[in-house]
Amino acid sequence: MPSILFEFMLIGVLGIGSQWLAWRFKFPAIVAMAAMGLLIGPVLGLMNPQEDFGELYKPITSAAVAIILFAGSVNLSFKELGELEKPVFRISTLGALIAWLLGSLTAHYIAGLSWAVAFTIGALFIVTGPTVILPLLRQSKLKPRPAKILKWESIVVDPLGALLAVFAFEIIAFFSAEDPSLRKLLTFFAASIFAAFFGWICGRLVGWLFETGRMPEYLKSPVVFVAVIFCFAVPDAIVLQTGLLSVTAMGITLANMQISSLADMRHFKENISILLISAIFIMLAASLDMETIQQVFTPRVIGYVVLMMIVVRPLSIFLSTIGTNLTLREKTLVGWIAPRGIVALTVSGYFANVFVEAGYEDAHILTTLTFGLVIFTVIIHGFSMGWLARKLDLSMVGNPGVLFIGSSRFSAGFASALAREKIPVLIVDSSWERLKHARDLGIPFYHGEMLSEQTEYQLDTMPYDYLIAATDFDSYNALIGTTFVPEYGRRNMFRIVPYEKNDQNRNDLAVNVGGRHLFGADITMTELNERLKEGFKFSETAITRQYDYEQYVNDKHEDTVYLCILKPSGQILFYASDSEITAEPGDRVFSLTSPEKEQIKIQERLEQKQD
């Protein structure tokens, strides 16, 4: 048997490797993680984390789920909801109740579970969870409204589903006991209220430490990490699963305190969430046995999963959203997407043991039933989410777009040239006067400060894969770059130098700060705008086998500024200071050139050939 250290290494490598494969080949990462876990676990028998880690397995998975849930809930600002407040509330309450009742009936009549087990597991299966929804949203690029609904539901209902399952079990235990006592039942309700209050207190305390400057910057991330574990462990030690409610309350409290430090830690939270989701999914899949996997394909398990997907989920969404402002297409998408994840797997395992010990023999199938629901929903919803969103026109998927920060004669003209090729473009500027260039050319624009909190909630940046900082201030361009590089990636983040090198107003910024120099560090925004005034035009040329890239370059005047290459796939390759790119047949090259000088250059070449 490999050492524990080796198993940790293998889980980490396969987890992150699955994320990379999913990114590289454009498919849901959860599918790759489940496959990797099954491969090293029940298929090859390399490890069984649940057995190998022993007593550490449960606290590791529980703490990881708590951190993932907090990382998601800390993004749940009520300002984000806007007009979606009513449908989100209805789905998280009435929708959850309908899903519980219908799911329990399905578990009893289709899966053959006793009423006690069915109502407990029916409560648990109302959860979707951020461990599965957030990675899918990241890859599917849904429009803002359905994406917000799915995100809020997954985070809010996750702890509620676990608590509802515990509540159902306590009710069943109360009525089936020979000498029923209200004390245990009241303890559960009191512990749930305490957990929510405790999470609020923890959130307020951490927020107060950050807001008043009582916490140094280098300790903020570690403090949040430890506070989440503390906030989870204390209530959970009193009553199982109340810790999830506590960390959710803590995250939502912090999200609505408008603390700037939390925005600075956003990418830390995202990184640790990706790492934990990858590791936990690999561990859970690797801990299964072949018998459980084989049972998944029995008729009653498949029948149960199918009814949960095509009947229970759509009905709960359509019934709970009657009278809301959701469109039929949005209801259809949300009603279809409900992949189950880590919370369902971990909590169902706990209840399986409890029910078996209490004499419910049918509880043996709970692990199989849960895994079947998880694996089928993850795979089917993972692969169908993007397709269905495109069919319903609820997807932002299309040609990669370009977001320009700063309106000028050049940025508006460049955006116009790209827009003619059906490339999504948007110009953002805080000056209405400077936006005149965009307005005159009919280019989509946003009037506001890119770094403000209001813009974060109002501006949808999902369609734009590339960002160009093109304002008159190099320091601001660099600030834009350092803020958004984690979101766009360094390869897709550019800035244009505003001034000449000898200009006293230009800040001497490091080359690696704020993104890559577009068109080279020697080409400035001042020069680009001046060339447009001199009559330079935006040119687009198709490269063919008869007219290759070398001929194209030879025909261009030395003053030509090469802008980008548009590939047939929609990918855009920008000319930058640290890259050497070339065009192939089928590509289109954009440039800023002088028609008169280009004509003179072509005429000279023709005369040379005649001589």
pLDDT, tens digit (0-9, with 9 covering 90-100), for 202-244: 999 999 998 888 888 888 888 988 999 999 999 988 887 788 8
Write down which residue in 372, 391, 410 finishes a domain.
391
- Give the pLDDT mean for 2-31: 84
Q: Does 396 reside within a domain? A: no
The residue type found at 250 is: M
| Residue 241 within a domain | yes
Q: Same domain, yes or no, for 450 and 543?
A: yes
Concatenated DSSP letters of 131-165:
HHHHHHHHHH-B-HHHHHHHHHHHHHHHHHHHHHH
Residue 42 covered by a domain? yes
Number of domains comprising the chain: 2
Range scoring the smallest mean pLDDT among 137-141, 333-337, 453-457 = 453-457
DSSP assignment of 411-466 equals HHHHHHHHHTTT--EEEEES-TTTTHHHHHHT--EEES-TTSHHHHHH---TTEEE
Tell me: do 457 and 352 sit in the same domain.
Answer: no
Cβ contacts of 104 within 8 Å, gap of 6 or more: 115, 118, 119, 121, 122, 123
Q: Which residue has the tokens 């992949």?
A: 339
Do 423 and 351 lie in a common domain?
Answer: no
State the Cα–Cα distance between residues 104 and 316, nearest whole angstrom.
13
pLDDT at 263: 63
Residues 84 and 224 in one domain: yes
| Domain boundary pick from 348, 373, 391 | 391
Let me know if residue 252 belongs to a domain. yes
pLDDT of the residue at 289 = 82
Q: Same domain, yes or no, for 463 and 321? A: no
The pLDDT tens digits for 345-391 are: 777 777 777 787 777 877 888 888 888 898 888 888 888 888 898 89
Same domain membership, residue 265 and residue 246: yes
Q: What domain range includes position 487?
A: 401-610
C-alpha 498/C-alpha 519 separation (Å) is: 12
CATH number for the domain spanning 423: value is: 3.40.50.720
Please check whether residues 118 and 262 belong to one and the same domain.
yes
> Looking at the structure, do residues 472 and 504 belong to the same domain, yes or no?
yes
In whole angstroms, give the CA distance from residue 176 to residue 170: 10
Q: Are residues 238 and 142 in the same domain?
A: yes
- Listed range (13-27, 426-440, 529-543) with the worst mean pLDDT: 13-27
| pTM strictly above 0.75 | no
Same domain, 27 and 48: yes
Would you say residue 354 lies in a domain? yes
The pLDDT of residue 171 is 80
Q: Is residue 142 part of a domain?
A: yes
**Pair 379, 437 in one domain:** no
Q: What are the φ and ψ backbone dihedral angles of 403, each rounded to 5 degrees?
A: -105, 120
Query: CATH number of the domain that 118 lies in?
Result: 1.20.1530.20
pLDDT digits (tens, 9 = 90+) for 121-179: 898 888 886 767 877 776 777 888 898 888 888 888 877 787 788 788 778 777 776 66
Three-state DSSP class for 344?
Answer: helix
- pLDDT computed for residue 503 by the predictor: 47
HEC string of 316-332 equals HHHHHCCCCCCCHHHHH
Give pLDDT, residue 405: 93
Is position 140 within any domain? yes
Structure confidence at residue 34 as a pLDDT band (50, 70, 90): confident
Write the pLDDT tens digit of every residue in 517-530.
888 667 888 888 98
Last residue of a domain, one of 391, 420, 441: 391
Are residues 276 and 229 part of one domain?
Answer: yes
